[in-house]
Amino acid sequence: MTDNQPTPDRIMRLINGYWATGVLAAAATHSLFTHLENGVDTAAGLAARAEISERGAQTLLDGLVSVGLVELHEGRYRNLPDASTYLVEDTPVSLARFAKLKLKHMGALTDLADVVRAGGPVKAPVVEVANNPHWEEIVKAIAPQSVPAATAAVELLGLAEAGEISILDVGGGSGIYSGTWLEANPAARATQIDWEPINAIARRLLDERGVGDRFTCVDGDFHTTGFGTAEHDVAVYSHIAHQEGPEANIEVFTRLRQALKPGGTLVVCDYVVDDDRSGPAFPLIFASEMLLKSKQGSTWRQADYREWLLKAGFENVAFYSAPPGTLVIAR
Ligand SMILES: C[S@@+](CC[C@H](N)C(=O)[O-])C[C@H]1O[C@@H](n2cnc3c(N)ncnc32)[C@H](O)[C@@H]1O
């Protein structure tokens, strides 16, 4: 048999891919990555520390070795580097909460074939419904994905040294950008537009970070809430463009350009696909989530962002990798 011979192995793993989601979520639920990081390295030890059955602990460890998150060496288990960095709890970039959330979303996938036929959601869409409780579950879980982008933008835009700037965050969610930027720049102020229950979450989190006195929330739909005119130095629109169609994105970018002072900067962050739609892998598959949950959303190409931003009146558009997203900086 040559290396190129087809085998069922990869297909079997993909067909059973939901077990990766399940094992990862169960391991995160029982804090196994955190315990492994703290040096607990056997099934018996993890069972005792996590207060789960030893049979369950061993089964999860087998699954985690199978999906390449944990390694076994001379009878001892340890996190591989990705799991160490991204699955240990309570770190700024931890995806453990997101892993638990995605298991809860899995039931909706049974609609996907019907959604593909229909070209959009067949049950109530998530995105177009005001105050959808979906967002309350999601915003804290996804915030760690925005930490690399928010941190990179501090450097790229020189935000720490920018003095008394005004920031506008449209669909700010947990307030992760405002929190990061207000901490970096003690003279900055930020305004977030989002639904009322989400703004309440952001307000609490920014108060906890000690920057709440420079943070203002505006409750409402960003499609109909005014952004103002020439008021802000920096605006941010992160993980929103994928839920909107081209016309809505151009409309929002146009109002954001007007809301910025001359010379102001728009920061967009999203899962951006290559212009020929050949990659990267995660943004390509995330388009399915938008088909399932939104009427117009998708993952958009660099060429789409460039075209829309130029139409909206920006003159210069640049792209920077900020895994798992891409930063788009428009001036
Ligand atoms: C995927 S989250 C992104 C949160 C944040 N920008 C980030 O990158 O972490 C989308 C956010 O947009 C908000 N949102 C979605 N549609 C909205 C609308 N029409 N008006 C106001 N907020 C909206 C949601 O409540 C949620 O906080």
SS3 of residue 192 by DSSP: strand
- In this prediction, residue 252 has a pLDDT band, given cuts at 50, 70 and 90, of very high
Give, using CA atoms, the residue closest to atom 4 of ligand 1.
173
Give, using CA atoms, the residue closest to atom 1 of ligand 1.
239
221 lines ligand 1 (CB under 6 A): yes
CB 269 within 8 A of CB 149: yes
Distance CA 124, CA 121 (A): 7
171 lines ligand 1 (CB under 6 A): yes
CB 246 within 8 A of CB 303: no
Q: Write out pLDDT tens, residues 11-34.
A: 999 999 999 999 999 999 999 999
- The pLDDT, as a whole number, for residue 2 is 58
- How many angstroms does the Cα of residue 85 sit away from the middle of ligand 1? 26
239 lines ligand 1 (CB under 6 A): yes
- The pLDDT, as a whole number, for residue 52 is 98
What does pLDDT average to over the chain?
96
Which ligand 1 atom lies nearest to the CA of residue 145?
9
- The pLDDT, as a whole number, for residue 1 is 52
- The pLDDT, as a whole number, for residue 128 is 80
- For the chain, list the strands marked E by DSSP: 70-73, 76-79, 166-170, 189-194, 215-219, 232-238, 260-270, 317-322, 325-330
CB 276 within 8 A of CB 304: no
Domains defined for the chain, CATH in brackets: 9-91 (1.10.10.10), 124-330 (3.40.50.150)
240 lines ligand 1 (CB under 6 A): yes
79 lines ligand 1 (CB under 6 A): no
Kindly tell me the burial class for residue 181, based on how many C-beta atoms sit within 10 Å of its own C-beta (0-12, 13-18, 19 or more): buried
Distance CA 235, CA 191 (A): 9
Pick the more confident residue, 188 or 2.
Answer: 188
